[in-house]
Chains A and B, each alone.
Chain A
Amino acid sequence: MIATRTLSVQSFTGFVPPGPGAVSSLFPGIAPHSRLVDLRLPTISKGIYKLGVLNAKHSSTPPRAVAIDSNELGFSQSADEVKPMKYHFLVANAKFMLDEEEHFKELLFERLRNYGERNKEQDFWLVIEPKFLDQFTNITNRLRRPAVALVSTNDRWITFSGHYPKADFEAITGWQRWGRSFSIMFMKLRLDRVLAGSYEAGTVEEALASSNVDLQFEKPEKWAAPYPKYEFGWWEPFLPPLSSKSQA
């Protein structure tokens, strides 16, 4: 079964080149999402291993056309098939995510505390050097490595997209869909200097697979704060539970 992979990178390639167009996009009257690239690329939901085959098969197909095809397939899938899950992510280099942006740590722990208080199952993870990035060359070529992604999923999004007629669904950009999805968009607003996208995967293990890397952060040259940095490794509670297995 083919499903869509939506890539919405908020990037400079999304800007109209300097000129009247670029300026006008900053003014009211032009939808903000018109600044976004919204590519729809083909992928396979039930196993990234099939990706190469599919990419070869559709290499000459315009992405948008494929997306519509895949949606049709997606909507008509039979009940016994595993429903692919949609994952949204933000990604930046590891130093930014884990070392520099200390408020990010506070936000994640706050969320974890909240989930605990309300008996909510954790649906967000930090993935170090995620394997899914291999699919996103337009992200990886502007990303310092090692990279760290915040990945999240929620059921509400699935319900939401299912309710939409296909035509409307196509017209909605990634950003607007993320508005419905838990907090990825909020996190983007907070962190700002991150790239964002989404993908589908059949299993959690596959979705959150990561490559084994040793993280090392140089100590800041001057540390003027009247307190020490958060301890190295604070992110461990947010690593996927099966990460050791998938790293093997």
Chain B
Amino acid sequence: MTAAAAAAAAAAAMELAVAKSINPIAKFGRSTPKAGCGAMRPLLRARASAATAEAAPPARGKGKKEIKETLLTPRFYTTDFEEMEQLFNKEINQSLNQSEFDALLNEFKTDYNQTHFVRSSEFKEAADKIQGPLRQIFVEFLERSCTAEFSGFLLYKELGRRLKKTNPVVAEIFSLMSRDEARHAGFLNKGLSDFNFALDLGFLTKARKYTFFKPKFIFYATYLSEKIGYWRYITIYRHLKENPKYQLYPIFKYFENWCQDENRHGDFFSALLKAQPQFLNDWKAKLWSRFFCLSVYVTMYLNDCQRTAFYEGIGLNTKEFDMHVIIETNRTTARIFPAVLDVENPEFKRKLERMVEINKKLIAVGESDENSVVKNLKRIPLAAALASELLAAYLMPPVESGSVDFAEFEPQLVY
């Protein structure tokens, strides 16, 4: 989906993996927006928690329902803009392959989806037919997707603004990507209106907590999130094309063209990484690459396994869908990251399965009626078990990879 979706994932898993405290794990609880009543969608009100330690933004309006912000909720991102400026300053970094960026700029200027996001009357009719528990799940899907796209918009917009002087081409690409994300977010928000909800994006901008990532982590995380977004969207699109009876809501018909934007955004981060080979060519880069892959894949898997009703509702087997997306994203990522995970090894899937089981128990503890001291005590062994599964998955023998532009790994490559 966007920068935010997987970057959020990464952040979430990072906090998990580091296991600084057991509190963040407590926040793994499913966010259960008890939607309904046709009232305006509650605006996100983040609850202060150990995970989101900053002051909670003020609640807005009375009587509006609040949504629990969990570790797995899409996040908003900010970065060190001065370091970004340094990285893309042509005077400092004369090796920037400007021509690759020129080629990308050309692609983004072409604006393939300029006229793509036009709604039809089908939307409202389809939404009205979605009733029962599935309706709530659809709303949640739209809301999370919209937040994720919007998060990408905010980050790219700011980068476009901040890099204007030091590198106008890179800056313009960021601005054009924010154009895409705004379009996507807007389209999803209109989808929410079919269900009588709306996200107040202006309010979100001010109210949400922003997570800070250093530029290099922004590159890894957003690359992965764009590529995994592509694979999610195209898989849903192609599945529904084959099985039209599950085509419950017309938004999925837009996914084929839509996700080409995501894929291109990923290519841009690929070019950014190539322009900063120090992020690709040493052992630290390999460790970070594996770490971000693991964070993003695990977060998606745990997230989706809590929402199987959505995927089953559109005729997909959640776990098979996720494994397909993980394997394909990993193959794509191997074109640029210096190391990726051996996700095709059956042991990787077994580890994911165990994490799902532990996570279920964590959720059950969170939902129990016991007092918080007892809950926390019960969480300790579960959190430790989850951390050890994560660590074991991280330490599985990796797959050496990378762009052939840097390929030392396969000297006899035949094309």
Q: B-contacting residues of A (Cβ < 8 Å)?
A: 10, 12, 15, 18, 22, 26-33, 35, 91-93, 96, 103, 106-107, 110-111, 113-114, 117, 142-144, 175-176, 178-180, 182-183, 185-186, 189-190, 192-195, 224-228
Contact = CB atoms under 8 A, between A and B. Distances in A.
Nearest to B266: A190
Interface string B97-118: 1111011101100101001000
Interface stretch (B3-11, B142-150, B218-226, B232-240): B232-240
Contacts of A179: 98-100, 102-103
B411 A185 contact: no
Q: Closest 7 CB pairs between A and B?
A: A179-B99, A227-B238, A185-B103, A179-B102, A32-B97, A28-B95, A192-B335
Contacts of B267: 186, 189-190
Interface string B231-269: 000110011011000000000000011001001000100
B276 to A, nearest CB: 8
Contact of B97 (A26, A113, A175, A226): A175
B369 interface: no
Contacts of B256: 106
Given A12-B413, A194-B415, A225 B235 contact: yes
Given A114-B112, A175-B97, A189-B270, A228 B242 contact: yes
B103 to A, nearest CB: 4
Interface residues of B, number: 55
Contacts of A28: 93-96, 276-278
A12 B328 CA distance: 26
25 contacts: A10-B404, A12-B411, A28-B94, A28-B277, A30-B95, A31-B94, A33-B97, A96-B415, A106-B260, A114-B112, A142-B415, A144-B415, A175-B97, A176-B99, A183-B103, A183-B106, A185-B100, A186-B104, A189-B271, A192-B403, A195-B415, A225-B238, A225-B328, A226-B235, A227-B235
Interface in B249-301: 256-257, 260, 263, 267, 270-271, 274, 276-278, 281
A143 B239 contact: no
A168 to B, nearest CB: 14
Contacts of A106: 234, 256, 260
A178 B104 CA distance: 11
A31 B104 contact: no
Interface stretch (B178-186, B204-212, B314-322, B376-384): B314-322
B168 to A, nearest CB: 15
A114 B405 contact: no
Given A91-B415, A114-B112, A224-B320, A185 B99 contact: yes
Nearest to A191: B335
Contact of A26 (B281, B323, B411): B281
Given A10-B404, A103-B263, A106-B260, A226 B95 contact: no
B81 interface: no
Contacts of B276: 28
A224 B276 CA distance: 35
B203 interface: no
Most B CB contacts (10 A, CB to CB) among A111, A179, A194 go to A179
Given A12-B411, A113-B112, 4 more contacts: A10-B405, A186-B104, A189-B267, A226-B235
B103 A227 contact: no
Query: Which of A15, A176, A182, A226 has the most chain B CB within a 10 Å cutoff?
Result: A226
B414 interface: yes
Contact of A189 (B100, B260, B407): B100
B14 interface: no
A61 B256 CA distance: 52
Contacts of B260: 106-107, 110
A225 B324 contact: yes
Contacts of B336: 192
Given A12-B407, A225-B324, A193 B106 contact: no
A227 to B, nearest CB: 4
B254 to A, nearest CB: 13
Contacts of B100: 175, 179, 185, 189
A167 B95 CA distance: 21
Given A10-B405, A227-B238, A193 B99 contact: no
B103 A110 contact: no
Quick one: which of A117, A180, A224 has the most chain B CB within 10 A? A224
Nearest to B327: A224
A151 B367 CA distance: 60
Contacts of A114: 110, 112
Contacts of B414: 93, 142-144
B355 to A, nearest CB: 20
A142 B410 CA distance: 13
A82 B328 CA distance: 47
B335 A178 contact: no
